[in-house]
Amino acid sequence: MKQVIIYAFMLLSGAPAFGGAPKNTVAVLSVNSGAYLEAFSSFQAAYGGEVAHYDLSSQKPELDKATRLFVAFGGKAASYTYPAGINIIYCLAPGLLIKPSAPEARSVSIALVPDLPDTFYRIKKIQPGLKRLRILWASDGYASYEQTVKETGARLGIQVTTFRLAGPGSLPGALRKALGETDAIWLPPDPLIVTRENLLILREFSWENKIPFYGSTKSMTREGAVASFGISFAEMGKAAARAATTLNAGGSLPETVFPDKTETTLNAAAAAKLGLEFPRSVLDEAGYLFP
């Protein structure tokens, strides 16, 4: 218990850590609180010891010649200018794609959403008659997924269309265009459009027009999505630790790594409004069922 208290004090204070993890690894948090702190705490535990870490909102990372790997938590930390030739692992940076800074360096993203075939399969378990799925997005990074989501949907008998929003205020217009053209809407964790106001707009549209809305985080489910299939912050941290261990050992990794476990959250009120019933298998997989 005493050790846990010491860990917590160091994390909240923003002081560089010390101890058992490899000294060549430095963690950078966009801010030392909330989801970033939860993911980093999980990373540190899975990595096997305390890791030097910095809160980018109040301090710049201090580097030495031993540093070979940065692990970034959040978009601000991921887009920070790091020295060329150093490996970077980043998570909680939706829509951000980082290219290696040098031929010998690696850049690895920890996915925010589960593998697409798995996500679409889970949606179809809840809505077996789904034929037309519309995906709304705004961040540049999601443009690279357009062809992939269409091909993935086609394999499951789903016609997937994507609609890029100009910004947060363009959601109502995009929803009006969806009328008569879609059976359901899926929203990835895109910070440019995922606001509390937009989630309320989406919920009202969904319930009024009987078009289910699916999300990718627990907060989306809480605000009215029928279900969300996402990855917890703790699982992102564990995946980052495994990736760090692999890179430090000289192993290879793909550009995107998917955490092992998916978090399913369900909203009973939304399902009732839309005339949907959760299968027993979906209920058994769920981590949360909002009333």
Q: What is the per-residue pLDDT across 189-233, written as a single tens digit (0 to 9) for each? A: 887 888 889 999 999 999 999 999 999 988 899 999 999 998 888
Residue 131: phi and psi, rounded to 5, are -120, -30
CB within 8 A of 76, min separation 6: which ones?
Answer: 30, 31, 56, 57
**CATH number for the domain formed by residue range(s) 116-230+263-290:** 3.40.50.2300
Confidence (pLDDT) at 143: 75
Distance CA(33)–CA(56), nearest Å, equals: 11
Domains 2-112+233-257 and 116-230+263-290 share a fold: yes
Confidence (pLDDT) at 21: 60
* Whether 221 contacts 215, CB under 8 Å: yes
Q: What CATH homologous superfamily does 2-112+233-257 map to?
A: Response regulator (3.40.50.2300)
Q: Is the pLDDT of residue 256 over 50?
A: yes
pLDDT for 129-187, tens place per residue? 999 999 998 887 777 778 888 999 999 999 999 999 988 789 999 999 999 999 999 99
One-letter amino acid of 8: A
Q: Is the pLDDT of residue 49 over 80?
A: yes
Q: Is the pLDDT of residue 69 over 80?
A: yes
DSSP reduced 3-state for 190: coil
Q: 20 falls in which pLDDT band (50, 70, 90)?
A: low
Torsion of CA 77, 79, 83, 87, to 10 degrees: 80
Q: Where are the beta strands (DSSP E) in the chain?
A: 25-29, 52-55, 69-73, 87-91, 107-110, 132-137, 159-164, 184-186, 213-215, 227-230, 256-257, 263-267, 288-290
Distance CA(154)–CA(152), nearest Å, equals: 5
Confidence (pLDDT) at 100: 84
Q: Could you tell me the residue ranges of all domains in the chain? A: 2-112+233-257, 116-230+263-290
Among 71, 77, 75, which residue's Cα sits nearest to residue 239? 71
pLDDT for 267-281, tens place per residue? 999 999 999 999 999
Range with the largest mean pLDDT of 96-110, 117-131, 137-151: 117-131
Among 262, 252, 30, which residue's Cα sits nearest to residue 40? 30
Does 142 or 86 have the greater pLDDT score? 86
